[in-house]
Structure 1
Amino acid sequence: MSQKQLRVVQWATGNIGTRALRAVIDHPDLTLAGLYVHSDAKEGLDAGALCDRDAVGVKATRSIDEIMNLGADCVLYMPLQFDLDEVCRILASGANIVTTRGEFHHPPSMPTAIRDAVEAACATGGTSVHSTGSSPGFISEAVPLVLSSIQRRLDHLAIDEYADLSQRDSPGILFEVMGFGQSLAEFAQARLDHVKANFGPSLQVLADALGLPFDSVEASGELAAARSDVTIAAGTIPSGTVAAQRITISGMRDGRELMRFRPTWYCTTDIDADWDLHATGWHISIDGDAPLDIEMRFPFPLERMSELSPNYTANRAVNAVHAVYSAAPGIRTSLDLPLIVPVLS
């Protein structure tokens, strides 16, 4: 079904942003209005050249003023770092935002100053902002909401994410940010806080929707070491250093865990822990009066992971543009929007 033609700006062209840019160019009901990049090397290049498409006549720019003057309907905001001033300026200008950053999943748990500033910008511009993606987003909100529609009692919901990172050629992220290849110690609190901030709000949205709000959200982490030296796409993980990690985000209610999101990220299956290391994908189990056990796996070889996996996040954001554009001004969650249904080309 055809929708209103919307003018969209792609903000940043990293792994996810490049896929989103390509999807906008190919979308029958979206027109690429502008492209913001952070790199000097990309400035001035045609957008098509940055995402394996023919020239489209839109040049990449590093000028925020130029982007603000486009009068776009929506900005697909996908930078590595969140910038409150940028976000507020975009929203106040009259452009809506769909972002794969996780700051806006659950407004009540946002820092008050940030929430108030964003809401004020939305009121000024008559705009809305929405956080989404594959995880968090699709797997931690959209899918559980559908599955819960056949429940009348929920005792426990568990979402397990598995990711084999052995073919991911991102040494900075794997070794410096995530800590693979480092000596085993207690799980860094900053790392736990980061994952909790990303996935906890998504679980809170779900709990609120079901009328079962949490008393607290807790996080814990476990590390496992490589049994021998292992070479992965990003480099070498020496024997005895971190080769797998498992983080548990628990939504607590009445003294027990009601919901759980637990990512298990690993670079080899040859580790010194007896963990269930499924193939990359998700496992959802629901205990209630209509129990469910669901496995969702990525049906392609690891060699294609870097090629295909970014689509899971980028596509949902692109597909949400029209819903966010039509939403009432403010920070909009999955509960505020209709079911995201794509118009395919």
Structure 2
Amino acid sequence: MTLRVVQWSSGNIGARTLRGVIEHPRLELVGVYAHSAAKAGRDAGAIAGLEGGPVGVRATADRDEILALGADCVLYTPLWCDFDDVCALLESGANVVTTRAEFLRPASLDPAIRGRVEAACARGNTSIHSTGSSPGFITEALPLVVTSLQRRLDGLRIDEYADLSRRDSPALLFDVMGFGQEPSDFGERRLNALTDSFGPSLRLLADALGTPLEQVDAAGEFALTKEPLTIAAGTLPAGSVAGQRITITGRRGGRPFLTFRANWFCGRELEPRWDLRETGWRVTVEGDAPLNIDLVFPVPLERMAAMSPAYTANRAVNAIPYVVEAAPGIRTTLDLPQIVAAL
């Protein structure tokens, strides 16, 4: 059965999910919502960067027009989450797959917001699911598989490495992530943001293992660029933040049990110097069947900006049929079958 899909926002990730829908054999693109007036009226194929010509669906900035389409699913990929928009979509009868992290674990949501969203799902007979590469795949899907080899799990650690020097996303890197800022401006806000994103995902994994976390805390450090550093998104002034290392730790019995550490950097000439790997992940499993797993993106740095959005976007596109078939409500990785790509 062909599913009718809307793309909501068309930034770095949204343009890639849009392309995924257009090229998918079992999905039909019926609408695109654009926050930018400059994109309203443009053909979806052009927004997605496709070379095959127009696809016949034009972006709109009219929210009501999108709600009236009667789509089976909306891919919701904005930079910020608007719960009013999410609830309106769900109430309209459209299921939602989002790369936003707010819905990774219902119990971690503010109770009032959770109640609103679940009520909207009930009225629309719809479901919503958060996914992506990180958090998502690397903090939930892969750990669930590798821990199936264990009968005793002493700890699991995920190290993420991301060279962001070729990512042309100024709003994300400078405004959201804090690169290029003075060290005094960088700190608690970033720790809270990462805890809000990755903490619920680690708690969900612990719930699945039957070992609920007693505490989740965050610690961070940053590194500076000595000289002005020009990257794809702009220029970082000398002495500003060019690297950040943030660790989210889920504890049991006061000891680290599940850990995610982000090593994100815009250059390698940092002060202090860090031991940095190529973009990708390292998963360390300590137990009675210990594992070290390296997942490296085999992409030249000059092509990384074009290729890396696929790691987040493709999983969201592949999840659409499963979310459409799911029972109404906020659905997690634990609620859905294993997501498999329909090629």
| TM-score between the two structures when normalised by the length of structure 1 | 0.95
Q: Secondary structure at the match of 1:58?
A: coil
Q: Secondary structure at the match of 1:13?
A: coil
Whether the aligned pair in 2 keeps the contact of 1:244 and 1:265 (CA below 8 Å) is yes
Query: Please, which runs of 5 or more residues in structure 1 have no aligned partner?
Result: none
Query: Please, which runs of 5 or more residues in structure 2 have no aligned partner?
Result: none
Q: Which residue is 2:33 aligned to?
A: 36
Q: Which residue is 1:276 aligned to?
A: 275
For residues 71-113 of structure 1, the C-alpha deviation after alignment (integer angstroms, 9 at most, x for no partner) is: 1110001112211111111111111000000110011111001
Q: Secondary structure at the match of 1:135?
A: coil
For residues 129-185 of structure 1, the C-alpha deviation after alignment (integer angstroms, 9 at most, x for no partner) is: 000001111111111111111111110100000011122233333233322233334
Q: Which residue is 1:204 aligned to?
A: 203
Q: Which residue is 1:22 aligned to?
A: 19
Which residues in structure 2 correspond to 1:42-81 (within 5 Å)?
42-53=39-50, 54-81=53-80
Q: Which residue is 1:126 aligned to?
A: 125
Q: Secondary structure at the match of 2:271?
A: coil
- Which one-letter code corresponds to 1:328 in the other structure? A
Q: Which residue is 1:153 aligned to?
A: 152
Which residues in structure 2 correspond to 1:95-174 (within 5 Å)?
95-174=94-173
Q: Which residue is 1:5 aligned to?
A: 2
Q: Which residue is 2:340 aligned to?
A: 341
Whether the aligned pair in 1 keeps the contact of 2:81 and 2:100 (CA below 8 Å) is yes
Query: How far is the alpha carbon of 1:228 from its aligned partner?
Result: 3.8
For residues 3-29 of structure 1, the C-alpha deviation after alignment (integer angstroms, 9 at most, x for no partner) is: x21111111111111111111111110
Which residues in structure 2 correspond to 1:289-304 (within 5 Å)?
289-304=288-303
| TM-score between the two structures when normalised by the length of structure 2 | 0.96
Q: Which residue is 2:247 aligned to?
A: 248
Whether the aligned pair in 1 keeps the contact of 2:12 and 2:169 (CA below 8 Å) is no
- Which one-letter code corresponds to 1:207 in the other structure? A
Count of aligned positions:
341
- Are 2:242 and 1:215 equivalent residues in the alignment? no
Out of 6-15 and 187-196, give the one that drifted further: 187-196
Q: CA separation in 2, counterparts of 1:272 and 1:217?
A: 28
Displaced runs of 4+ in structure 1, greater than 4 A?
none
Aligned CA RMSD, in angstroms, stands at 1.4
Query: How far is the alpha carbon of 1:272 from its aligned partner?
Result: 2.4
